[in-house]
A and B are shown apart, each in its own frame.
Chain A
Amino acid sequence: MVWLLVLIPLLLAVAAVLIPSGRLRPWLVPFGGLIQVVLVVFAISSENVSGFQGWLLLDPLGKLVLLFISVLFFICSLYVPGYLSLRAERPTRLFCACLLSMLGMMTLMTLSHHLGLMWVAMEATTLASAPLLLFNSSTRSLEATWKYLLIGSVGIALALLGSFFLAYASLYEGLESTLQFDDLIKLAPHLSKPWLHAAFVLLLVGYGTKMGLAPMHTWKPDAYGEAPGLVGALLAGGVTSCAFLAILRFYSLCVASGEAAFAREIFIFSGILSMVVAAVFMIRQRDFKRMLAYSSVEHMGILVLGIGVGGLATYGALLHLLTNGLTKGVLFLSAGNIHRAFGSKLTDDVRGAIRRVPMSGALFLAGFLAITGSPPFGPFISEFTILNGAIGSGKFVVAALFLLLLAIVFVGMGSTVLRVTQGTPSTPATATDFRESPRFVIPILLFLGMSLLLGLYIPPQLESLLKNAALFVENGV
């Protein structure tokens, strides 16, 4: 049963290649997204989902991330048919197939309990997303794809070296060498410490590259800036969550081997560093899509910071994974609409978006308020929980830095967003006659609604999922 979750998107990807009709093909993507959501809900409610001698296993953490990814993908996929009908001149075959195989690979990532398999899934996600970045086929998107591919592949290669180190950590102590996650957790207290430390650092650098932690974030502004808005939303919400999931798995390994303090220090440091880098680059950012990329760097920093603080903040970080991803969906899709209407993504050319594309402009503004942690949206709750955790555990310096950086980001991001949305509409030479129809707005509204919902009320089922996942991260079981 578990393999169906991976296989169905892949089969649909094959179908997308084979189907001759260019009009029908885009609808395969929301169709696949819907099937996936149904299957995932079914899988989460069933007791024991595993397969291939423990290589695939749906644990509490995996449940949370898998649910989030399939919902995110489904809402994004609603945007696909409309988007592709606008871009009728571009071939859609590869685009749809890559989207669906990306879904399959992200699912595999959340399910895999084997370091090697997880690694292959991560790399496959990178490769599947490369053609998506190249969709616009301009010299700039080519440059972005090259950087994304090269930096991503190198990072992932280091992660492989880290996985090998981990396997050797058990081999060295005369234990049975394994890359299977559950066995490693059992062996964890006996693992050789120097190898474990080296492995953790390499794995954090490797998967951190995919996640976009500073200073391995350099591909992110280019890739997010050049990708179609919908791909940006998937990368910022989905792929980064997968990479974060991998890092969480290694963290629980560290916890199980009694090295949690070592890992937490690194997490706090890299979290703060990412936030600082993002804040610096967000001030006076002229390109609003690149601004979103730096915002993503910032929030990845918040995620690892939350884990580094631990306790209540772990719960906060997991909640933030959801709220950030959903709000990023709002921002990327509405930014995509604005980009399309004005034909530019520089603040010099784009003014008064609220008048030119009223819904998208307003949603972009709302998304900005949400992502910077204004109540009553979801990110406010999750960021507040992390702050609460930091103060509760006596980490006052961290809490103060966190607040200061959030304030800087708010100001920096605000000046760009307000310039884009407010004022009299500009008419740059590149402007198009793009009209907002419901199919370009409904997915954004869905995202914003869910972000708002998480800020006001967390359903008990989700609450228990979150709590179980947080327990799983902290204890490794």
Chain B
Amino acid sequence: MYQLIDPILVAVLLLNFAALGASQLRTVIHAIALQGVLLGVLVVVAHNEFTIWAVLMACAAITLKGIFIPRLLFHAIREVSIRREVEPIIGFIASLLLGGLGTALAVLFSNTLPIAQEHVGSLIVPAALSTTLTGFLILTTRVKAITQVVGYLVLENGIFIFGMLLVEAMPFLVEIGVLLDLFVAIFVMGIIINRISREFSTVSTRNLSSLKE
């Protein structure tokens, strides 16, 4: 089952590009949801055998990253009546090119890191690094608070992918801890997005610029 990892990771990377290039908020969230589901599948595949923990972890990841958080985001869009466009600071083409550059750099950098025998040739390290970079890119180049949450989510996904190298080493408690933490962070961010929209009647971080030197 181990050879299924790479195709899944290729799909995850393509979804990064989709999230970078899409102009509709809904498309972006759909891409992230699909990425979350793929990561859940990845957990089972990376465990290499059907243990009860692996399946539980996968279910938790899919429920959280694939269903719950996207629903929360959709809910926020509907309730707060956020406009449906993404509003990037730099253009979509520039974001895509930067994303491509980031992926290339991630591959180059991961080639300089030594990889354990059983992971040689696997895409896990470059995929993790480039997903993390994509998350950064979305975080820093999008205006809306909700897209910044999406960027944070992608960043966490990248870290989650790297965690796949350690599935045997990481105790169950920590894996769940990571997911729970993500959940709480997104939840708190959701509450604040709601507050921001109530105060400013829009959820653009352009309004959040009264504090500066």
Residues of A with C-beta under 8 A to B177: 116-117, 119-120
Chain A residue nearest in CB terms to B193 = A146
> A167, B211: Cβ atoms under 8 Å?
no
Distance, CA A90 to CA B213, complexed state (A): 29
Q: A117-B177, A130-B188, A161-B132 are in contact. List 19 more A-B contacts (CB 8 A).
A: A117-B174, A120-B174, A120-B181, A124-B181, A127-B188, A139-B207, A142-B192, A142-B208, A143-B210, A154-B136, A154-B152, A161-B158, A164-B162, A171-B166, A178-B169, A179-B169, A192-B114, A194-B113, A281-B213
Chain A residue nearest in CB terms to B113 = A194
Residues of B with C-beta under 8 A to A154: 136, 139, 152, 155
Residues of A with C-beta under 8 A to B178: 116, 160
Chain A residue nearest in CB terms to B140 = A154
Residues of B with C-beta under 8 A to A143: 207-211
Query: Which of A221-229, A322-330, A378-386, A418-426 forms contacts with chain B?
Result: A221-229
Residues of B with C-beta under 8 A to A119: 177
Distance, CA A194 to CA B162, complexed state (A): 16
Distance, CA A336 to CA B174, complexed state (A): 39
Residues of B with C-beta under 8 A to A177: 166, 168-169
Q: Given A167-B169, A168-B165, A172-B114, is A145 in contact with B192 using a C-beta cutoff of 8 Å?
A: yes
For chain A, residues 138 to 174, give those with C-beta under 8 angstroms from any C-beta of chain B.
139-140, 142-147, 149-150, 153-154, 157, 160-161, 164-165, 167-168, 171-172, 174
Chain B residue nearest in CB terms to A225 = B211
- Chain A min CB distance to B38 (Å): 19
> A146, B116: Cβ atoms under 8 Å?
no
Contact of A195 among B113, B145, B188 (CB under 8 A): B113
Query: Which of B52-60, B71-79, B80-88, B195-203 forms contacts with chain A?
Result: B195-203
Render A110-149 as a binary contact track against B, CB cut-off 8 A, 1 for contact.
Answer: 0000101101100110010010001000011011111101
Chain B residue nearest in CB terms to A120 = B177
> B114, A139: Cβ atoms under 8 Å?
no
Q: Is residue B189 contacting chain A, with contact meaning CB distance below 8 A?
A: yes
> B192, A146: Cβ atoms under 8 Å?
yes
> B211, A171: Cβ atoms under 8 Å?
no
Residues of A with C-beta under 8 A to B208: 142-143, 146-147
> B132, A127: Cβ atoms under 8 Å?
no
Chain A residue nearest in CB terms to B175 = A116
Residues of A with C-beta under 8 A to B114: 172, 192, 194-195
Q: Is residue B105 contacting chain A, with contact meaning CB distance below 8 A?
A: no
> A153, B169: Cβ atoms under 8 Å?
no
Residues of A with C-beta under 8 A to B199: 139, 142
- Chain B min CB distance to A126 (Å): 8
Distance, CA A127 to CA B189, complexed state (A): 10
Chain A residue nearest in CB terms to B168 = A177
Q: Is residue B51 contacting chain A, with contact meaning CB distance below 8 A?
A: no
> A149, B189: Cβ atoms under 8 Å?
yes
Q: Given A123-B181, A178-B169, is A157 in contact with B159 using a C-beta cutoff of 8 Å?
A: yes
Q: Is residue B3 contacting chain A, with contact meaning CB distance below 8 A?
A: no
Complex A-B: 13 CB contacts under 8 Å: A116-B177, A117-B177, A123-B181, A127-B185, A134-B195, A146-B208, A150-B148, A154-B152, A157-B156, A157-B159, A167-B166, A194-B114, A221-B213
Q: Is residue A198 contacting chain B, with contact meaning CB distance below 8 A?
A: yes
Residues of A with C-beta under 8 A to B113: 194-195, 198
> A153, B162: Cβ atoms under 8 Å?
no
Distance, CA A225 to CA B212, complexed state (A): 11
Q: Given A142-B192, A142-B199, A177-B169, is A222 in contact with B163 using a C-beta cutoff of 8 Å?
A: no
Contact of A150 among B132, B152, B209, B211 (CB under 8 A): B152
> B166, A168: Cβ atoms under 8 Å?
yes
Contact of A172 among B116, B168, B192 (CB under 8 A): B116
Q: Which 4 A-B pairs have the closest CB atoms?
A: A177-B169, A116-B174, A143-B208, A222-B211
**Contact surface of A with B, Cβ cutoff 8 Å:** 114, 116-117, 119-120, 123-124, 127, 130, 134, 139-140, 142-147, 149-150, 153-154, 157, 160-161, 164-165, 167-168, 171-172, 174, 176-179, 192, 194-195, 198, 221-222, 225-226, 281
Residues of A with C-beta under 8 A to B188: 127, 130, 149
Distance, CA A388 to CA B168, complexed state (A): 48
Residues of B with C-beta under 8 A to A123: 181, 185
Residues of A with C-beta under 8 A to B136: 154
Q: Is residue B205 contacting chain A, with contact meaning CB distance below 8 A?
A: yes
Chain B residue nearest in CB terms to A172 = B116
Distance, CA A288 to CA B210, complexed state (A): 16
> A157, B174: Cβ atoms under 8 Å?
no
Chain B residue nearest in CB terms to A174 = B116
Q: Is residue B108 contacting chain A, with contact meaning CB distance below 8 A?
A: no
For chain B, residues 161 to 187, give those with C-beta under 8 angstroms from any C-beta of chain A.
162-163, 165-166, 168-171, 173-174, 177-178, 181, 184-185
Q: Is residue B11 contacting chain A, with contact meaning CB distance below 8 A?
A: no
Distance, CA A161 to CA B159, complexed state (A): 6
> B210, A160: Cβ atoms under 8 Å?
no
Contact of A153 among B115, B128, B152 (CB under 8 A): B152
For chain B, residues 118 to 142, give those with C-beta under 8 angstroms from any C-beta of chain A.
128, 132, 136, 139
Contact of B166 among A140, A164, A281 (CB under 8 A): A164
Residues of B with C-beta under 8 A to A164: 159, 162-163, 165-166
Residues of A with C-beta under 8 A to B145: 146
- Chain B min CB distance to A316 (Å): 31
- Chain B min CB distance to A275 (Å): 17
Distance, CA A128 to CA B165, complexed state (A): 31
Distance, CA A194 to CA B188, complexed state (A): 36
Contact of B196 among A117, A146, A222 (CB under 8 A): A146
Distance, CA A423 to CA B158, complexed state (A): 56
> B211, A226: Cβ atoms under 8 Å?
yes
Chain A residue nearest in CB terms to B164 = A164
- Chain A min CB distance to B76 (Å): 14
Residues of A with C-beta under 8 A to B210: 139-140, 143
- Chain A min CB distance to B171 (Å): 8
Distance, CA A194 to CA B111, complexed state (A): 11
Residues of B with C-beta under 8 A to A144: 211
Chain A residue nearest in CB terms to B169 = A177
Distance, CA A366 to CA B128, complexed state (A): 51
Chain B residue nearest in CB terms to A280 = B213
> B195, A157: Cβ atoms under 8 Å?
no
> B192, A149: Cβ atoms under 8 Å?
yes
